[in-house]
Amino acid sequence: MMADTGVAALRNALETERAALRRELNELGALDGTGALDYDANFADSSQVNAERGETGALVAKLRSGLDDVELALAKLDGTATPAYGICERCGQPIAEARLEAMPTARRCVTCSAAG
Ligand SMILES: [Zn+2]
CA of 12 to the centre of ligand 1 (A): 24
CA of 54 to the centre of ligand 1 (A): 35
CA of 83 to the centre of ligand 1 (A): 12
Contact 14, 77 (CB under 8 A): yes
Give me the pLDDT at residue 46, please.
Answer: 46
Contact 108, 94 (CB under 8 A): no
How far, in Å, CA of 83 to CA of 37, rounded?
24
CA of 60 to the centre of ligand 1 (A): 29
Domain ranges in the chain are 4-115
Contact 107, 96 (CB under 8 A): no
Contact 49, 57 (CB under 8 A): yes
Instruction: Write down the mean pLDDT value for the chain.
Output: 85
If one compares 49 and 60, the residue with the highest pLDDT of the two is 60
> Does 32 have pLDDT greater than 80?
no
Question: Could you report the per-residue pLDDT of 61-105, keeping only the tens digit for each?
Answer: 999 999 999 999 999 999 999 999 999 999 999 999 999 999 999
% of the chain exceeding 70 in pLDDT = 79
CA of 86 to the centre of ligand 1 (A): 10
SS3 content of the chain, % helix, strand, coil (to 5): 55, 5, 40
**CATH H superfamily, domain 4-115:** DksA, coiled-coil domain (1.20.120.910)
CA of 6 to the centre of ligand 1 (A): 20
% of the chain exceeding 90 in pLDDT = 66
Residue 48 banded pLDDT, cuts 50, 70, 90: very low
Q: Name beta bridge partners: 37.
A: 31
